[in-house]
Structure 1
Amino acid sequence: MDTQAELQERGRSSAPATGPEERPRSSRVRDRAADLMSWRGTLALGAVCAVFVFLFSSFVVQPFLIPSGSMEPTLRVGDRVLVNKLAYRFGAVPRRGDVVVFDGTGSFVREGGEQNPVTALLHGAAASLGLAEPAETDFVKRVVGVGGDRVVCCDERGRIEVNGRPLNEDYLFTGDAPSKVPFDIVVPDGTLWMMGDHRSRSRDSRDHLGEPGGGMVPVGRVIGRVDWFGWPPGRLGPLPDTAAFDSVPAAGPSHG
């Protein structure tokens, strides 16, 4: 009996340990595979989310970082606004008073500028998410004249007139004149006359009067309409509306 008990005790003591430090090889392999799959799943989910956000910002709503004070007080430096890219996709066109983001290539900046394609791609991706300043060719301004409009500066009281009706521009920066640059233009069909709200600090259509295109921005270059504030939290909400253009009559026959 003693011999049999001794053999049983030796058998138990010589059995391989199955604790956490001496797990079978197959168990350790399974754990490593599970960890690897978990990391791959996380990376895949992150990639899918990134692609979704990028596509959403490319075709639906794009965050846009305001880089300058040309649209103060409506838009301030550092604001992040949400640009509605569907606003003009289904037959609608920009209206007087709309604040829009547009590509100024060929109107506000010359065409043909060269840039490192990799740098441009990375910067464009960051800008499309509102994480970087927009490209140098992207601008945000207010539509003051649409195709066919006659826009004049200024009447005897220093106000801009559109189709003979003076504007009460309640959005102007305090102390700014509507314009210190005189002009009398007719906006060609399919183009827009753009101006900043901070007139003394805005380079807009007025600054390109003598250049090809005369400062007019083709409607096809409009990226979208600024509809909402996305940042900072204290400014969340829709962009303030204006009644400045409510009494402006329809444009007469277009002149070129």
Structure 2
Amino acid sequence: MTASTPSDGAEKRTGGLFRGFREILIIIVIAIVVAFVIRTFFFRAFLIPSGSMEDTLQVNDRIFVNLLVDSEEQLERGDVVVFEDQHGWLPPVESDPNAFYQAMEFIGLYPSTSEQHLVKRIIGMSGDHITVNDDSGNLVVNGTEIDEPYLYPGVEGSDINFDVTVPEGKLWMMGDNRSASGDSRSHMDGPNGGFVNVDQVVGRAEIVAWPLNRWGSAGSNNEPFDQVPEP
């Protein structure tokens, strides 16, 4: 029978600690890879920075966006979508110097602050004619006046008069808090005439994930447009 020495016990403990550390490291790497794959191909988290979509989305809501829904065939009027700001709708912002949060955002473990993205509702698609009823303030899409239940309480369909026809491959986007939304109406004199190219769409907002007391749908609602005829 061979007696063990104190050094044998120390080596065993050291080996056990090393194996435990290695296993934890492997789990962390797998979690990062899975998060990156999900963020790149399936879902991406965004942080809501403003009140332009109230009461549907609140400031500091964390939402998950379905990246698989991003083409004109998959999108519908009434969808809430996130899209890239390619036409200067947002003012220039300084980049966040915190490298840690930037890295976490890149791999999908921290929500995007939406500094180069906007979230709005699709009101018009290719060929749609959109205007405003002067008497009611409601929107009129392809000759049909619509009632929008998701609007911020007390606001009209639009406090800005406009009359547009959406070109092919483009979208007309508006916030739910119409009096506080710098949307398509505010950029009619700018690049692209206030329209958003379909290829700017990142995906459809699906879920409010945080805070927990607001967990649920991100607010897409196609019913107000059910009676709207095709252009």
Q: TM-score range by the shorter chain?
A: 0.7 to 0.9
Counterpart of 1:77 in 2: which secondary structure? coil
Return the offset for 1:161.
1.0
Give the 5 Å matches for 1:184-199. 184-199=163-178
**Contact map agreement 1:141 1:194 (CA 8 A) in 2:** yes
Counterpart-to-counterpart distance in 2, 1:121 and 1:79: 21
- Which deviates more, 151-160 or 197-206? 151-160
Q: Which residue of 2 aligns with 1:245?
A: 225
Deviation at 1:129, TM superposition (A): 3.9
Q: Secondary structure at the match of 1:29?
A: helix
| Paired-residue identity, % | 36
In structure 2, relative to structure 1, the CA distance for the partners of 1:107 and 1:151 (3 Å cut) is farther
Tell me how far apart the structure 2 counterparts of residues 70 and 128 of structure 1 sit (CA, whole Å): 27
Which shows bigger deviation, 150-159 or 116-125? 116-125
Counterpart Cα distance in 2 of 1:27 and 1:73 = 63
* Equivalence for 2:124: 145
Unmatched tracts of structure 1, length 5 or more = 1-16, 252-256
Matched residue type, 2:121: R
CA apart distance, 1:185: 1.0
Q: Which residue number in structure 2 is paired with residue 62 of structure 1? A: 44
Evaluate the alpha carbon distance shift between residue 120 and residue 46 of structure 1 in structure 2; reply closer, same or farther with a 3 A threshold: closer
CA RMSD of superposed structures (Å)? 2.8
Matches of 1:24 and 1:211, distance apart in 2: 78
Note if contact 1:62-1:128 (Cα within 8 Å) is conserved in structure 2: no
Q: Which residue, 232, 243, 254 being the options, matches 2:211?
A: 232
Aligned 8 A contact 2:35 2:107 in 1: no
Taking a change above 3 Å as real, the CA distance of residues 135 and 53 of structure 1, as seen in their structure-2 partners, is: same
1:105 is matched with 86
Give, in whole Å, the separation in 2 of the partners of 1:171 and 1:127.
32
Q: In structure 2, what is the Cα distance between the partners aligned to 1:46 and 1:163?
A: 53
- TM-score between both structures, scaled by the size of structure 1: 0.79
CA-CA distance at 1:121 after TM superposition: 9.0
The Cα offsets for residues 119-171 of structure 1, whole Å up to 9 and x where unpaired, read as 68953742774735523211110000101111112343221111111111111
* 1:223 positional shift: 0.7
2:61 to 79, 91, 96: 79
Picking from 220, 223, 231, the partner of 2:199 is 220
Residue correspondences, number: 229
In 2, distance between residues paired with 1:121 and 1:138? 21
Query: How far, CA to CA, are the matches of 1:34 and 1:129 in structure 2?
Result: 32
Give the gaps of 5 or more residues in structure 2.
none
